[in-house]
Amino acid sequence: MNTKLRGLLIVHACVSLTRSAVDSRLKKFGVEITDWSPIGRTSAGSSELFLDYDSAMRLIEELEQVIKISFELALFGDETFMGERWVYSSTLGLASIQIDQAGNQMLSESKLLTILRTSGDNSLKIERAIRRALLIEWDDEFEDLRELQMSQRRKLPRVG
């Protein structure tokens, strides 16, 4: 697929010392984060982008090589492509899920059937597998990083 798709890259955290490594990797794809914000020893930022699917996959591979990074990349679908969201955390690894044009996560029928088959009649295993398939663990980690970023902003002195 060579069609350029609108996307959003959010770097929830990267060690400030490796920020230049992130910037140089992004530059290869014509992507730039201009709103880096420091959060303790890490930085966070985001960028809207336009990439084809193959370039998005290569960008993800590049970012996975950065030490201690957490990010997500969403490519929003169009009439020919069901969107996709990838999430990465150095503690949880890489995962993805399809998304619709509004950004809602979509679990396929085959994925749900696989979850039911492998979990048997154990409701806790079913719930755990569905939560993992919906990327809840990554969202929980990202939410902790967002809260840290918000508390960092509140600590800044007021001007005026």
137: domain CATH number? 3.30.70.1150
The answer to whether residue 19 is domain-embedded is yes
What tens digit of pLDDT does each residue of 31-62 get?
A: 999 889 888 788 999 999 999 999 999 999 99
pTM of the model: 0.87
Q: Give the strands of the sheet with 37-39, arranged side by side.
A: 37-39, 42-51, 5-15, 69-75, 83-89, 93-99, 105-106
Residue 64, domain extent: 5-155
Structure letter (DSSP) for residue 52:
-
Tell me whether residue 98 is in a domain: yes
Please check whether residue 97 is in contact with residue 105, taking contact to mean a CB–CB distance below 8 angstroms.
Answer: yes
Q: How far apart are the C-alpha atoms of 54 and 31, rounded to whole Å? A: 15
The per-residue pLDDT for range 127-160, each reduced to its tens digit, is: 999 999 999 999 999 998 888 777 765 555 555 4
Question: Does residue 160 lie within any of the structural domains?
Answer: no
> How many other C-beta atoms are found inside a 10 Å radius of the C-beta of residue 153?
10
Say what the pLDDT of residue 152 is. 65
Helix (H, G, I), strand (E, B) or coil at 45: strand
Q: Is residue 87 in a domain? A: yes
Q: How far apart are CA 62 and CA 47, in angstroms?
A: 16
Report how many domains make up the chain: 1
